[in-house]
Structure 1
C-alpha cells in the first residue's frame, strides 16, 4: 500500500515525485523523462523571465488556472531547485536554458534525487487499468498496486514517437472525468514548396507576419517542411489554410530598394543573408537575379521583393507526431486549481500536460509542469521546498 502512486514519469511526474513525502511509487511504461531529455534540442528551456501576469496570459485561454500553482512554486523556486542539482543556467532573450549541460543529465539528476529520497521508481511497466474502491487499484502489465492517492501525470498526445498516448485520458474518463478534445500545439509546418526544395538542415533568421502579429527568429528547413523556434511560435496562433508572409531578409520595401541600388544586383544584395542552396532555388524563380539593377524592370524588382520579403505560403500544421505540446485534456472545470485535485473523485490529482493547459515556446510548458507537479506534492503529504 502506497500513500501515492504517480502514473507518468515525464516532467510533471518527476517534479511531483521530487517533493512527495511518504511511501510513493512513480511508474511509467517507458524510461523516465524521455521527452524532457530532448527538450529544446537537449538544451532544455526551463522557464522564462516574463512576470507573473505575462506568464498567465501566455496560456490562452486557461492561464488563470495556474495562478495558485505559481504562487507556491514559480520561476525563482524552479531555478533554486536546479541549482541544488548542481546545474547552471543561461538566459537568451528572456528564455532560461541549461548551461554546459543537457536534458539527459537533468533527467538523470532528477531520477537520482528521487531515488535518494527512497521514492520507488518503476520504469518500462505499462499501467493497463485503474479502479477506485476504498483505495486506488492500479493494474499493470506485471503487478497490482494499491494507493490512498493517485496522480495522473501521463502528458498529452504530442510526440508519439517518444511514447505519448491517450492512456491518461482513458484512465481519467474511467474515473468519471471529461476530456477537452486534444489538438496538436507548438507544431511545425508540413509544407511542400519548390522554394524550399533540397534545403533540409538549413536554418535562417526570418520574420513571419500573420494578420497583425510579427514573429522573429530562426526557421529550420526540414525534409517535411518548416520548423524552428519562429515556426513553433507562429503555430500557436495560426490555423490550417491560413496565409502567412515570410520575410527572408527582414527588410521593408524602402530599405530593400535603397540597399538594392547600392548592391547593383539582387544576387549581390542577398548573398550575405542567404545560403547558396537557397539562392540557387531563388534563382530559378528570379532569372534576372544577376543582372545590373538598371536593366531590371520595376515590375520585376517588385516581384523579387515579394518573393524575398513577403513570401506567401498556406499553412499546413503537422499532427501529433511532430507537435511538441498538446492543447486540450482534462476539463479544468472538474479540477480544483488550489490543489490540482479532482472535484469528482477524492484523492485523485492531475498535473502537467494532461491538463487543458498549453503555452507557447519559451519555457512556459516546463514551468507549468514543475509548478503543478510541486502543487500536487504538497497536497499528498507535503515536503516544503525550503526543507529540500
Structure 2
C-alpha cells in the first residue's frame, strides 16, 4: 500500500469493484480497501449463490419498483442499464442468459463466476486490492477529502468512493461504517431497517404447514392507513412464521411498521385472488361432481391439506364432513378465512438474516448525476449505503452496478 492514490474505494462489493474498474480504465491510480479476505462476500451469497444480476424491465418500470425514491436512479440507469451490464460482463468474459425472459443470470448460475471475472479485471486495469484492511476514518479539510485513516496506515487522496453496503449479514462484513462516514461529514442517514427477511408470526398454527409452498399468494397489510401495501408471490410457512419470495419483498414494508406498531396484522389470499362468491361457486361445482367428497377432498386442489386442516380448526369446522353438512355460520366462516387468512406479524430475524437494508444516506445530499456528495467535494456514495432499496429479482444488484459505474467516473 502506497502513501497516496488518485482514488480510494471503500468496500469490494459489486458497486465498489465496478467503480474501481471504471476509474482505473480512465488511467487513475486506484486502491480498494476490503475488510474481508476475499472480494464480494455478499455478492457471493446473492440469489442463494446463483447470482440474479439484473432484470429486463425498462428503466421507467425499474425505477417505479423502488417507490418514491426511484427517480433518483435516472442518470445512473441511463448510463448503465441491464443491457449495458450484460455487455460489460460479456467483455470481461462472463456469459449471461435470461432463462425466464426476465431475470438475468450468469450461464453458470454461480456467483463465483462474476466475482472471479471482476477480480481479474481489477488486476488487468491495475487496481490495488488491500484485503483485511479497514477504513477507520475519512479526514476532511474545508469540505474537501484529504486522507483516509486505515487499519494499516494513512492514505492521502482527494477522492473516495464509499461502497460499504448496508447492515445486512454482518458475518459477511457489514458494520455500518458507511453511515458513520456519512454522518461525520454532515450527511443525514434515514432510519435503517432490515429488509428482504423472513417474518415471525404470533400465530402458531403455521408450524403445522411448514412443508408447503403456496404459489401466487396475495399479502396485504390489514391496517386502514396502510391498506395499499400489498405483494403477490410464492409463500412458504415456517415453524415460527413465513418466508418465500413474496415475504422477502413484503418485509421491506413490514419492518418499519413493526417498529411503530410492534404487531402488524395482515391478510393472505392463498387462492390466487379468488373471492368468497367465486369460492362458493367452486365448491358447489366440485361437490356436485363429487358428491361423496369431504371438505379436505373438495379443497385439496386449491390448498395443501395441512393448510386446510389448520384453517378448519380455526373456525371449528370438521374437515371430515361434507361442506353442505357444516352449520351455516361455520360454513361462512370457513369461506371467509380461506379467502382472507389473517396473520399477525410480531417480529423478524434482524439484520443477521437481512439481505438488504431499508434506508440509508439521504439522497437529497447526493448529486444523482455524479453520485458525489453535495456537501464534500471528492466524496462519492454508491450502492446499498444510500437510501434506495428494491424488491427481489436483480433490482438491488443492478442499482449497485449502475451507481458504482457512475461514481467511478468521478464526475464533478
TM-score by length of 2: 0.84
- Structure 1 residues 99 and 299 mapped into 2: Cα distance closer, same or farther (>3 Å)? farther
Contact 1:20-1:380 at 8 Å conserved across structures: no
Partner residue in 1 for 2:299: 270
Contact 1:38-1:104 at 8 Å conserved across structures: no
Contact 2:218-2:269 at 8 Å conserved across structures: yes
Contact 2:51-2:109 at 8 Å conserved across structures: no
Quick one: distance in 2 between partners of 1:337 and 1:91?
32
Q: Does residue 249 of structure 1 match 2:278?
A: no
Quick one: distance in 2 between partners of 1:59 and 1:233?
11
Partner residue in 1 for 2:405: 374
3-state SS of 2:408 partner: helix
Where structure 2 has 5 or more consecutive residues not aligned to the other structure, the ranges are: 222-226, 288-292
Partner residue in 2 for 1:41: 48
Deviations 1:203-222 (A, max 9, x none): 32122234346532111223
**CA-CA distance at 1:279 after TM superposition:** 4.8
Contact 2:94-2:113 at 8 Å conserved across structures: no
Q: Does residue 123 of structure 1 match 2:131?
A: yes
Deviations 1:356-387 (A, max 9, x none): 12222232211111111000111279xxxxxx
3-state SS of 1:124 partner: coil
- Structure 1 residues 277 and 99 mapped into 2: Cα distance closer, same or farther (>3 Å)? farther
- Out of 320, 338, 346, the position equivalent to 2:377 is 346
- Structure 1 residues 93 and 295 mapped into 2: Cα distance closer, same or farther (>3 Å)? farther
**CA-CA distance at 1:195 after TM superposition:** 2.0
- Structure 1 residues 331 and 137 mapped into 2: Cα distance closer, same or farther (>3 Å)? same
Q: Does residue 194 of structure 1 match 2:238?
A: no
3-state SS of 1:132 partner: strand
- Structure 1 residues 374 and 323 mapped into 2: Cα distance closer, same or farther (>3 Å)? same
**CA-CA distance at 1:349 after TM superposition:** 0.8
Contact 2:145-2:160 at 8 Å conserved across structures: no
Quick one: distance in 2 between partners of 1:83 and 1:11?
16
- TM alignment of 1:22-171, pairs within 5 A: 22-30=28-36, 31-84=38-91, 85-92=93-100, 94-133=102-141, 136-171=146-181
More displaced 10-residue stretch of structure 1: 275-284 or 180-189 = 275-284
Q: Does residue 17 of structure 1 match 2:31?
A: no
Quick one: distance in 2 between partners of 1:270 and 1:135?
65
- Structure 1 residues 222 and 197 mapped into 2: Cα distance closer, same or farther (>3 Å)? closer
Quick one: distance in 2 between partners of 1:106 and 1:162?
17
Quick one: distance in 2 between partners of 1:111 and 1:316?
42
Quick one: distance in 1 between partners of 2:21 and 2:208?
46
Q: Does residue 332 of structure 1 match 2:363?
A: yes
Partner residue in 2 for 1:7: 10
- Out of 176, 192, 212, the position equivalent to 2:186 is 176
3-state SS of 1:129 partner: strand
3-state SS of 1:356 partner: coil
- Structure 1 residues 209 and 173 mapped into 2: Cα distance closer, same or farther (>3 Å)? closer
Q: Does residue 208 of structure 1 match 2:231?
A: no
Where structure 1 has 5 or more consecutive residues not aligned to the other structure, the ranges are: 382-388
**CA-CA distance at 1:177 after TM superposition:** 2.4
3-state SS of 1:151 partner: strand
- Structure 1 residues 380 and 222 mapped into 2: Cα distance closer, same or farther (>3 Å)? farther
- Out of 220, 228, 236, the position equivalent to 2:244 is 228
Quick one: distance in 1 between partners of 2:212 and 2:45?
20
- Structure 1 residues 339 and 204 mapped into 2: Cα distance closer, same or farther (>3 Å)? same
Quick one: distance in 2 between partners of 1:169 and 1:246?
36
Partner residue in 1 for 2:233: 217
- Structure 1 residues 357 and 215 mapped into 2: Cα distance closer, same or farther (>3 Å)? closer
TM-score by length of 1: 0.89
Quick one: distance in 2 between partners of 1:29 and 1:213?
38
More displaced 10-residue stretch of structure 1: 366-375 or 289-298 = 289-298
